[in-house]
Amino acid sequence: MTGDGRIIINTGDGKGKTTAALGLAFRALGHGRRVCVIQFIKGQGEYGERRFAESQAGLDWFICGKGFVFKKERIEEDRSVARAGFELARQKIASDAYDLIILDELTYLPQFGFLDVADIIEVISQKPPRLTIVITGRNAPPELVAIADTVTDMQSVKHAFASGIKAQKGIEF
């Protein structure tokens, strides 16, 4: 990550997109690198990873969402929270203060019409050379896949959720 930062995308329907990104954060922090996580869509909540993040020097964490449940009457608020989050991402990317920036669940912004893919491409294509950016979320737009260096499609072979096991503390959040 010295002058050769990458664009990495974790997409697909299977479990592991966000947790793989956080694994990379863990790795980078171990080398004394500076990491920023910006979480789109996901709202406030008792996520174990956020608790852990609070105790980590070198790791900045921002929550820019109100939850995955979209209500018609709240959609404009969801849109403006998402767009404000993207403006924050733009600033953090341009700041050159980080080696790794994770834009968690970013793919949903163009999918829900909150943002144009072209805006994302414009911002990430101007990233400082050392910075690696990780984008997570299902259905990564092909235009983003095209400019990325590393793209992993998490394939769901099976998920416990389908057999009625609800999201588990320490595993899903």
Helices and strands per DSSP (H, E), number in the chain: 6, 6
Report the nearest approach of ligand ATP to the CB of residue 128 (Å).
Answer: 26
Spatial distance between the Cα atoms of 131 and 5, rounded to a whole number of angstroms: 5
Report the nearest approach of Mg ion to the CB of residue 4 (Å).
Answer: 26
Spatial distance between the Cα atoms of 62 and 89, rounded to a whole number of angstroms: 10
33 interacts with Mg ion by CB under 5 A: no
19 interacts with ligand ATP by CB under 6 A: yes
Kindly list the distances between the CA atom of residue 62 and the CA atoms of 14, 35, 85, 102, 166, in Å, as whole numbers in the listed order: 24, 11, 8, 10, 26
33 interacts with ligand ATP by CB under 6 A: no
Binding mask 115-144 for ligand ATP (x = CB under 6 A): ---------------------x-x------
Residues that bind ligand ATP (CB under 6 A): 13-19, 105, 136, 138, 154, 156, 159, 161, 167, 172-173
